[in-house]
Structure 1
Amino acid sequence: MRLEGKQLVGAEAITATGAMIYAVNPQTNEQLEPGYAAGGTVEVEQACSLAWEAFDAYRETELEVRARFLEGIADEVEAIGDLLIERAMAETGLPRPRLEGERGRTCSQLRLFANVVRAGEWLDVRIDSALPERQPMPRVDLRQRHIALGPVAVFGASNFPLAFSVAGGDTASALAAGCPVVVKAHSAHPGTSELVGRAIQRAVEKFQLPPGVFSLLYGSGREVGQGLVTDARIKAVGFTGSRSGGTALVAAAQARPEPIPVYAEMSSINPVFLLPAALESRAAELGEAFVDSLNMGAGQFCTNPGLIIAQKSDGLNRFLQAAGASIQETASHTMLTPGIYEAYTKGVANLTLSGKVRVVAHGPAGQGANACQANLFATSASDFLSDAVLQDEVFGSTSLVIECNDQDEMGRVAEQLEGQLTATLQMDSADMELARGLLPILERRAGRVMANGWPTGVEVCHAMVHGGPYPATSDSRTTSVGSAAIHRFLRPVCYQNLPDILLPAALRDGNPYGVSRLVDGERKS
């Protein structure tokens, strides 16, 4: 399969005329072929027009057809074989096992949503039968279901070239909801994006769906991204990236004549609270496990543990000693792009030069291009509370330890935290009361609260919440991972006194889809 460097607009592959986009191998800084000419307003118009034409037909596809389509995308992605892994390795510097695991996660997400579509619970069907004899006022027949919002723009993520990109969670959940998708590929991995985009094109053709169900655009500046968000035919946006990028998209979406939701995952430092009894009993073990989590993937995970909060004690000293020794022995890893590496080194320099922060340990400097040197810093709770800059995310293998004088100060630190994707309690049974006091604060601050684990690693399942208050995400009511993600792209519609022949299948008296329905207040299938 040869890469062509073209925009994928519906069923077509089109050569655009904008500036060339080249992937760069971050291990060598070598420019990779082919180049991808950036699209512009012409390609945005074509993709959005096709998506809108496809919308009404696609959103009413039979549940089984839509489910098989999602499974078909997974099959096509797997059929690409080793070519996909090799190209992604070249474009990201990520190791083969990580990318093979990410491909598996991508396909598992698609198959999860296929099962969600089949089950039909996302339709949330509610029927209140007519009561013509009711006094003092009769009740009309009322029926409700959820329908797709409309075409969705999805922005590929730099740190997950498969699972959060072209066929990733946002695309899978939007397609499951019945929304056509227009993806803006991330410029760091255009070849990987083309391979996956063509897999989706093949699945669209195989299941004889309207070609506008999927398009893939490339753009190096703001023209494509802003063009998608402000196009009247786009009805929602999925984004994973920086706080500045996500905030800009939210502002553009809210400035439209018809504002639309932007589900942006942006910035999180994922605080870990080391409670006193846990520190006393297993400080060294915690220090080593923390560094394993911190260094995973060069720290380029949105759930990386960027903040450690603990009370001053001998246990904390032993934790710092163990963590510092582990960092000094850890190997450096290549970062995803030269730009991410540059931002990381700037963030580390800001902490190093801060008069409020001391260095606990530096990892070995990397020998290759764009190698991430791990770092651990510490500061007092009073300095952290007085300097909001210390909450800034440093995207990479760097973390800051907050040393608290007592439990009250630990609570004040928790109260001042920004919104987070995760918050972790490392605790033993003797820490139960302190944990009970912190829990309500952490529920307000994070989308996922865990005990005795580490935040890296997000299970794709029904109960997962990958979201949180701003700036972790732009909308704390949703998740971007797990089956509940489908609800981002749905809205309810009520049908009053429509004859059965005009009702959607899920609402008809015979329940032809066989979905669970709330009928006159009772759950029935």
Structure 2
Amino acid sequence: MSELIGKQFINGQRVATNAPTLDSINATTYEPTGYLFCQATLDEVNDAAQAAHDAFKVYNQTTPKLRAQFLEEIATQIEALGPQLQEVASLETGLPLGRLQGETGRVTGQLRLFAQVVRRGDFFSARIDQALPDRKPMPRVDLRLAKIGVGPVAVFGASNFPLAFSTAGGDTVAAFAAGCPVVFKAHSGHMATAELVGTAIQKAVEKCGMPSGTFNMVFGGRIGADLVAHPLIQAVGFTGSLDGGMALYNIAQQRPQPIPVFAEMSSVNPVVVLPQALANRGAQIAAETVASFNMGCGQFCTKPGLILGVKSPEFDQFVKGLVTATQAAAPQVMLNQGTLKSYKAGIAELENEAGFEKVAVGLEATLVSQATAQLFKADQSVLLSGNVKLQHEVFGPMSVVIALDDEETLLKGIDQLAGQLTATIIGEDEDFVGAENLLNLFAKKAGRVLFNGFPTGVEVSDAMVHGGPFPATSDARGTSVGTAAIDRFLRPVCYQNTPQVLLPDALKDENPLGLNRLVNGQLSSAAL
């Protein structure tokens, strides 16, 4: 069993200026768990950023082999924590042990997947244009491009995934894989969980001989802005609310040296159910839709919060199915008191908004920490007018259903939507004939378009995109899930007429890493 001491992780040491006054809270009872943490000071934030800056000089130069071994060792150390990790995470978040066991597997699998990415080396994006001294009318110099890490990255823990989007989550792992040290801001909702994972990372740092400042972690609620504003931090990874993400983004842009903020923030994830699918399996789709927006108490950023279709008797029957399934939904514990309060406030706003009607409520809560499922209907004018209330994510087990007059009106309504993480189309083969306009429109609006499934499962793979146009994210050019997430923390460097002895291994003539490289416009894995 790992002992929790509640101090900051800075440059390989556990330090604290302040006394432990921050309580870890039981998500079910709202009582303290007994774990106490120390509020980080501004000096400690400065020390953490400096440690990461100093570590970057060495860590960024590590070989792909050593960096991959480091990622694999983190996975091994997390597994060594045993059931204590899931038990503490469940205590702090109210999430069931089975869910957290799966999330642990996702974390360790993700670490090992990124180790493969690092070994493979394609993240270097190596390109070589050899010199052409005899080219007329002008000779060409020798030009070689490779990507390198941007520098120290500030990562903010997410509330809804205490493992997969937190201390050793996707942002941290992508930064490590890119060669960037991390300063992690622990989420106040699961500080004990963060400390356990932090100890595992620190052990991996020591065992693999990485610079002591490769990983740093600070606790407290008043230091996020200081971290983003620190001149040594070179990028930010964030998952959370629109207000929180934009606050960090604005701080980063107002610095003397602005830096990129990759914030995943807000999405209602529209689902369109097409006519033939309604006719063939409307009752099944209704039950599956409610199960999706109620999964994990609706605390997934990919929760389907908007359900659309064309008016018909079949769609009316589908809505009845949504109502029935919502009414049967059991109440669930939310992540923390603040999340439940925000959920109730969001529901209250819709209840008082013209054009919305509550049509179903789930089974009554039996605990003060539980939320009940909710289903609203909205008039099509709400969608067509671009009503901001419709597009504002209510984080929790609820969704809004809208029937539209015809396909043309449906497309006009979707065109009013802002950026989304996901967009879903449910249909039969007959529905898909002539559905190009719907697909193309969704491709403009979302980072991931899926057919005949539900968006609440996010695969960690090479082809996954978990991002999208604003306000889904602050930068639609990246993803926070999948191996392409590494690109957020890299930048290209061109080496011109550089001596072989000084070139990065990825660009040397002998190709010691065995990379596939673009050489004079042709893909090649051979030495030059």
For residues 515 and 380 of structure 1, the distance between their equivalents in structure 2, rounded to whole angstroms, comes to 56
For residues 510 and 430 of structure 2, the distance between their equivalents in structure 1, rounded to whole angstroms, comes to 57
SS of structure 1 residue aligned to 2:474: coil
- Is the 8 Å Cα contact of residues 267 and 391 (structure 2) preserved in structure 1? no
Aligned in 2, Cα 1:354/1:133: closer, same or farther, shift over 3 Å? closer
Cross-structure match for 2:57: 56
- Is the 8 Å Cα contact of residues 383 and 414 (structure 2) preserved in structure 1? no
- Is the 8 Å Cα contact of residues 305 and 400 (structure 2) preserved in structure 1? yes
SS of structure 2 residue aligned to 1:264: strand
For residues 20 and 381 of structure 1, the distance between their equivalents in structure 2, rounded to whole angstroms, comes to 50
Cross-structure match for 2:378: 379
Asked if residue 507 in structure 1 is aligned to residue 507 in structure 2, the reply is yes
Cross-structure match for 2:411: 411
Q: Could you report, residue by residue, the CA deviation over 1:314-373 in whole angstroms, capped at 9, with x for unpaired residues?
A: 111111111211111111110000000000011112222333212221001110122110
Return the letter of the residue paired with 2:449.
V
Q: Could you report, residue by residue, the CA deviation over 1:359-407 in whole angstroms, capped at 9, with x for unpaired residues?
A: 2210011101221100111011113333322221110000000111111
Return the letter of the residue paired with 2:78.
V
Task: Report which stretch shifted further, 461-470 or 275-284.
Answer: 275-284
Structure 2 unaligned regions, length at least 5: none
- Is the 8 Å Cα contact of residues 227 and 233 (structure 2) preserved in structure 1? yes
Cross-structure match for 2:18: 17
Cross-structure match for 1:493: 493
Q: Could you report, residue by residue, the CA deviation over 1:45-74 in whole angstroms, capped at 9, with x for unpaired residues?
A: 111111111112101101100000000000
- Is the 8 Å Cα contact of residues 152 and 182 (structure 2) preserved in structure 1? yes
Cross-structure match for 1:277: 276
Residues 424-443 of structure 1 aligned to structure 2 (within 5 Å): 424-443=424-443
For residues 128 and 356 of structure 2, the distance between their equivalents in structure 1, rounded to whole angstroms, comes to 60
Cross-structure match for 1:235: 234
For residues 299 and 114 of structure 2, the distance between their equivalents in structure 1, rounded to whole angstroms, comes to 26
Return the letter of the residue paired with 1:262.
V
- Is the 8 Å Cα contact of residues 6 and 20 (structure 2) preserved in structure 1? no
Cross-structure match for 2:108: 107
SS of structure 1 residue aligned to 2:454: coil
Return the letter of the residue paired with 2:71.
L
SS of structure 2 residue aligned to 1:417: coil
For residues 390 and 435 of structure 1, the distance between their equivalents in structure 2, rounded to whole angstroms, comes to 25
Cα deviation, residue 16, structure 1: 3.3
For residues 389 and 20 of structure 2, the distance between their equivalents in structure 1, rounded to whole angstroms, comes to 36
Aligned in 2, Cα 1:157/1:18: closer, same or farther, shift over 3 Å? farther
Cross-structure match for 2:84: 83
Cα deviation, residue 19, structure 1: 7.5
- Is the 8 Å Cα contact of residues 20 and 36 (structure 2) preserved in structure 1? no
Q: Could you report, residue by residue, the CA deviation over 1:415-473 in whole angstroms, capped at 9, with x for unpaired residues?
A: 00110000000111221245212111111100000111111000000000000000000
Aligned in 2, Cα 1:232/1:18: closer, same or farther, shift over 3 Å? farther
Asked if residue 295 in structure 1 is aligned to residue 300 in structure 2, the reply is no
Q: Could you report, residue by residue, the CA deviation over 1:58-115 in whole angstroms, capped at 9, with x for unpaired residues?
A: 0110110000000000000010001101000100000001000000001111111000
For residues 352 and 130 of structure 1, the distance between their equivalents in structure 2, rounded to whole angstroms, comes to 68
Cα deviation, residue 171, structure 1: 0.2
Aligned length: 523
Return the letter of the residue paired with 1:316.
F
Cross-structure match for 1:210: 211
- Is the 8 Å Cα contact of residues 376 and 399 (structure 2) preserved in structure 1? yes
Return the letter of the residue paired with 2:383.
F
SS of structure 2 residue aligned to 1:480: coil
Task: Report which stretch shifted further, 152-161 or 32-41.
Answer: 32-41
SS of structure 1 residue aligned to 2:458: coil
Cross-structure match for 2:186: 185
Q: Could you report, residue by residue, the CA deviation over 1:175-226 in whole angstroms, capped at 9, with x for unpaired residues?
A: 00000000000000000000000100000000111101000101112xx111
Asked if residue 462 in structure 1 is aligned to residue 465 in structure 2, the reply is no
Cross-structure match for 1:135: 136
Calculate percent identity across the aligned residue pairs: 51
Cα deviation, residue 135, structure 1: 2.0
Asked if residue 312 in structure 1 is aligned to residue 305 in structure 2, the reply is no
SS of structure 2 residue aligned to 1:22: strand
For residues 203 and 103 of structure 2, the distance between their equivalents in structure 1, rounded to whole angstroms, comes to 21
- Is the 8 Å Cα contact of residues 10 and 201 (structure 1) preserved in structure 2? no
Cross-structure match for 1:480: 480
For residues 434 and 320 of structure 2, the distance between their equivalents in structure 1, rounded to whole angstroms, comes to 25
- Is the 8 Å Cα contact of residues 88 and 192 (structure 1) preserved in structure 2? yes
Cα deviation, residue 18, structure 1: 6.9
Residues 332-347 of structure 1 aligned to structure 2 (within 5 Å): 332-347=331-346
Cα deviation, residue 228, structure 1: 1.1
For residues 413 and 445 of structure 1, the distance between their equivalents in structure 2, rounded to whole angstroms, comes to 12
SS of structure 1 residue aligned to 2:435: helix
For residues 146 and 390 of structure 2, the distance between their equivalents in structure 1, rounded to whole angstroms, comes to 46
- Is the 8 Å Cα contact of residues 427 and 435 (structure 1) preserved in structure 2? no
Provide the alpha-carbon RMSD of the alignment: 1.1
Asked if residue 448 in structure 1 is aligned to residue 448 in structure 2, the reply is yes
Cross-structure match for 1:244: 243
Return the letter of the residue paired with 2:273.
L
Return the letter of the residue paired with 1:246.
G
Task: Report which stretch shifted further, 427-436 or 341-350.
Answer: 427-436
- Is the 8 Å Cα contact of residues 375 and 398 (structure 1) preserved in structure 2? yes
Q: Could you report, residue by residue, the CA deviation over 1:468-519 in whole angstroms, capped at 9, with x for unpaired residues?
A: 0000000001100001000000011111111111111111111111111111
Cross-structure match for 1:367: 366
Q: Could you report, residue by residue, the CA deviation over 1:244-263 in whole angstroms, capped at 9, with x for unpaired residues?
A: 00001110000011110000
Cross-structure match for 1:267: 266
TM-score (norm 2): 0.97
For residues 237 and 517 of structure 1, the distance between their equivalents in structure 2, rounded to whole angstroms, comes to 29
Task: Report which stretch shifted further, 385-394 or 198-207.
Answer: 385-394
- Is the 8 Å Cα contact of residues 145 and 494 (structure 2) preserved in structure 1? yes
- Is the 8 Å Cα contact of residues 361 and 376 (structure 1) preserved in structure 2? yes
- Is the 8 Å Cα contact of residues 18 and 39 (structure 1) preserved in structure 2? no
Task: Report which stretch shifted further, 182-191 or 362-371.
Answer: 362-371
SS of structure 1 residue aligned to 2:32: strand
Task: Report which stretch shifted further, 333-342 or 390-399.
Answer: 390-399
For residues 440 and 524 of structure 1, the distance between their equivalents in structure 2, rounded to whole angstroms, comes to 35
Return the letter of the residue paired with 1:422.
T
SS of structure 2 residue aligned to 1:473: coil
- Is the 8 Å Cα contact of residues 178 and 486 (structure 2) preserved in structure 1? yes
Return the letter of the residue paired with 1:29.
Y
SS of structure 1 residue aligned to 2:71: helix
Residues 24-63 of structure 1 aligned to structure 2 (within 5 Å): 24-63=25-64
Return the letter of the residue paired with 1:467.
G
Return the letter of the residue paired with 1:423.
A
For residues 26 and 133 of structure 1, the distance between their equivalents in structure 2, rounded to whole angstroms, comes to 71
Cα deviation, residue 40, structure 1: 2.1
For residues 72 and 136 of structure 2, the distance between their equivalents in structure 1, rounded to whole angstroms, comes to 51
Aligned in 2, Cα 1:441/1:109: closer, same or farther, shift over 3 Å? same
